[in-house]
């Protein structure tokens, strides 16, 4: 039996929201899941690891809360909405077309100490997410924790936990992935895996 399994399991799953309905007229933090995103969130509930969740913590962004509520409905665990663990602040540019967004995201990771066109710096976002989730790794009660968040800050947290420099090569392939952290050691046990198929646990 691995550290991910059984009644004594004490891991944290960092889960990113799946696909969203892009709406240029709405603030990004208020975007909702698309029909595909809802389908994948519901499919996630069939994964074996979901049954071991005893605590659900979510970013306050709508798409994350929606994902957390799908988990909550399946597990009966109440969602705890936490401020300060949302995605990197990109309000300076607002919505940008996907191709332009990818260019800016590449620079965000490649120049972590720079503010890319007014975006929150990667080093600042990393400190924010490390600080915002630290208590979840130090608590002693058994059971698994699910944190529902976002790919950018999730990647920054993964890099910090794994002792890796900030680099986009550690980013999730696309929305709707998770990685697992052993709460005893504070170390990731694997990289990004799809929320709705395959993968550990």
The full length of the chain comes to 201
| In contact, 57 and 147? CB cutoff 8 Å | yes
The pLDDT value given to residue 4: 47
The range of the structural domain enclosing residue 66 comes to 11-194
Residue 148 lies in a domain: yes
Residue 201 lies in a domain: no
Which domain CATH number covers 173? Answer: 3.40.50.1240
Instruction: State the total domains in the chain.
Output: 1
Residue 3 class from Cβ within 10 Å (0-12 exposed, 13-18 middle, 19+ buried)?
middle
What is the per-residue pLDDT across 10-60, written as a single tens digit (0 to 9) for each? Answer: 999 999 999 999 999 999 999 999 999 999 999 999 999 999 999 999 999
Residue 5 lies in a domain: no
The pLDDT value given to residue 1: 32
Task: Tell me the C-alpha distance between 53 and 142, whole Å.
Answer: 10
Helix (H, G, I), strand (E, B) or coil at 145: strand
Residue 2 lies in a domain: no
Pick the closest to residue 162 from 60, 14, 9, 15 (CA basis): 14
First-to-last C-alpha distance (Å) of the chain? 11
Q: What is the mean pLDDT of each run of 10 residues along the chain (201 residues)?
A: 53 98 92 98 97 97 98 98 97 93 98 98 98 92 94 98 98 98 96 90 67
The pLDDT value given to residue 201: 67
Residue 6 lies in a domain: no
Residue 46 lies in a domain: yes
| In contact, 28 and 60? CB cutoff 8 Å | no
């Amino acid at each position: 039996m691995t550290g991910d399994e059984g009644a004594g399991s004490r891991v944290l799953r960092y889960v990113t929201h799946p696909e969203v309905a892009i709406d240029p007229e709405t603030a990004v933090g208020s975007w909702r899941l698309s029909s595909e995103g809802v389908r994948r969130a519901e499919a996630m509930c069939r994964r074996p690891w979901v049954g071991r969740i005893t605590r659900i913590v979510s970013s306050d962004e709508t798409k994350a809360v929606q994902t957390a509520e799908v988990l909550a409905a399946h597990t009966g665990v109440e969602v705890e909405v936490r401020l300060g663990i949302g995605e990197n602040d990109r309000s300076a540019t607002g919505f940008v077309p996907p191709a332009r967004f990818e260019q800016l995201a590449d620079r965000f990771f490649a120049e972590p100490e720079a503010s890319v066109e007014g975006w929150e710096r990667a080093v600042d976002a990393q400190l924010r997410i490390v600080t915002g989730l630290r208590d979840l790794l130090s608590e002693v009660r058994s059971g698994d924790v699910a944190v529902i968040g976002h790919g950018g800050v999730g990647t920054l947290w993964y890099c910090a936990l794994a002792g890796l420099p900030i680099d986009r090569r550690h980013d999730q392939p696309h929305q709707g992935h998770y990685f697992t952290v052993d709460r005893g050691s504070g170390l990731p046990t694997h990289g990004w895996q799809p929320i709705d198929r395959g993968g550990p646990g």
